[in-house]
Amino acid sequence: MNRKIDTITGYSLFLFIMVLFAVVVSRFPMAFIWATYEDLLGEWSQFYFFAIALFFSVRLALAKSRFWLFFAVLALACFYVTGEEISWGQRLFNIAPPDFFRSHNLQQETNLHNFFTGPYNTLLKRIIEILLAFGFIIYGVIYPLELKVSWKPAVWINMKGIPAPPAYLWPFFVGAALFELRIFLFNEAEIAEILLSLALAIFTNHYWLKHKHQGKSAYHLSTRYAVAMMLILIVGTGLAATTTSICYTLPRLKTEMDSRIDNGMAKFAERYGRYNSWSNAAVLYQLLLEKDQKNTATLRDLAACYQKMGQEEQFKEINTRAMVIDITKYGRFPGNVATNLSLHKTFLQAGNRERAEFHLQKALQASKVNVRLEPNNASAAYWLGKSYLAAGDTDAALRQLEKAVQLKPQSTSYKKALYTLTLGQQYSDDVDGRETGG
């Protein structure tokens, strides 16, 4: 039993992380956003776990062990990933991305991976995710098992300098593979990265301890592995929490982080709704309303939550508040396309199809006039596309949204609208789907 303390610790650690995430995602939606969203606790945890793996990989490479070349390559990979995680300090130090990245990177960030994946759920991104999931299973689960039974090809590979992860890490690799596939479409790919980075940190530390304490008893090593696992988790998450807190105290970074959190609340409220968790969705919409009490999109979404929960009085009250705000705007600017489209949605939600159709036609008329007067205006083309989309004319909407993206390719709002229409995709947390005026 004593020799297996590392196995018990590894399994317990994995179970603790899974239970923690399950409780947080089901009961504390804001905590889940902080734990998995970009530039917050989850991403900084990944950064520090990869950094720990980098540290031990470098030490193993310099130690000239049998696996030195493997760990040298892993060190380079970890260095690349840590840099990519924080976009090489772009947001942290307020460095403007070069024009090349601004034009070609799907998130206008100084990193390489968003040239290929970005916030959009493309076929290429899906292929990469599937390949990664298979890689995690083959290397983290199958390879160690083959070595355990002394399968000759696996033994040959090991002799050539490819170490196998310790057997107690297989749950981390399986979990990372499953979450990488994004089965639930609930930002679980971030959990996959946390599990993988933590597994690599533990894996590299395991081999460093094995190298450093050669000749020690199995019990001695097993105990050290177990203690090291806990220390890596504590140090990594502690540094992540500290870094997140420090960033949040800096005015410029706090503004950017608050914006991302607001974006996350809107996104996750929608996702909770997909799973009929209307109470969690309502909590997030209410928090958004505290920051912007006149946001009609948020009011309408909150009203829908109450309707789904069977609370008709609250539904009518909130939906009417949204209606009154937009009617006031309409009284001042009856030709505003965004206002008319918003009223179309609100009246439609209230069951008043006649008024909904009236405002849809007003939006179409006004947007057509805007495009005729300013044919090279990206915003005009975008809103005409949105109007056609609300009317159900997808072909006409596609033409206008393509035009908007051509005229203003740096706009993530325009890109999202276009990709949503053409591919029917779900998007990452970095793209806010709310109407902002283009």
Segment 82-112, tens digit of pLDDT: 988 887 777 776 666 666 555 544 555 555 5
Confidence of residue 1 (pLDDT cuts 50, 70, 90): very low
Quickly list DSSP for 407-418: H-TT-HHHHHHH
Mean pLDDT of 270-281: 94
Is residue 141's pLDDT more than 90?
yes
Is residue 197's pLDDT more than 50?
yes
Is residue 118's pLDDT more than 70?
no
CB atoms within 10 A of CB 135: 14
Which pLDDT value is given to residue 338?
A: 96
Range in 190-194, 269-273, 283-287, 409-413 the model is least confident about? 409-413
Query: d(Cα 71, Cα 53) in Å, to the nearest integer?
Result: 10
Range in 18-22, 125-129, 342-346 the model is least confident about? 125-129
Mean pLDDT of 283-305: 96
Mean pLDDT of 255-275: 92
- CA-nearest of 211, 264, 317 to 25 is 264
Is residue 437's pLDDT more than 90?
no
Tokens 């609340």 correspond to 265
Mean pLDDT of 108-125: 58
Which pLDDT value is given to residue 107?
A: 55
Chain-centre distance of CA 29, in angstroms? Answer: 14
Confidence of residue 114 (pLDDT cuts 50, 70, 90): low
Phi, psi of 427, deg, nearest 5:
-120, 160
Query: d(Cα 17, Cα 242) in Å, to the nearest integer?
Result: 20
Is residue 282's pLDDT more than 60?
yes
Segment 330-351, tens digit of pLDDT: 999 999 999 999 999 999 999 9
Which pLDDT value is given to residue 116?
A: 53
Which pLDDT value is given to residue 101?
A: 53
Is residue 412's pLDDT more than 60?
yes
Mean pLDDT of 383-388: 96
Which pLDDT value is given to residue 123?
A: 74
Helix or strand or coil: residue 427? strand
Is residue 155's pLDDT more than 90?
yes
- CA-nearest of 207, 180, 241 to 47 is 241
Confidence of residue 183 (pLDDT cuts 50, 70, 90): confident
- CA-nearest of 38, 41, 95, 31 to 246 is 41
Segment 57-68, tens digit of pLDDT: 999 999 978 899
**Average pLDDT score, the chain:** 89
- CA-nearest of 322, 188, 315, 243 to 40 is 243
Tokens 């923690």 correspond to 20
Is residue 430's pLDDT more than 50?
no
Which pLDDT value is given to residue 435?
A: 42
Which pLDDT value is given to residue 434?
A: 42
Residues 6+ apart with CB under 8 A from 212: none
Helix or strand or coil: residue 119? coil
* Percent of residues, the chain, with pLDDT higher than 70: 89
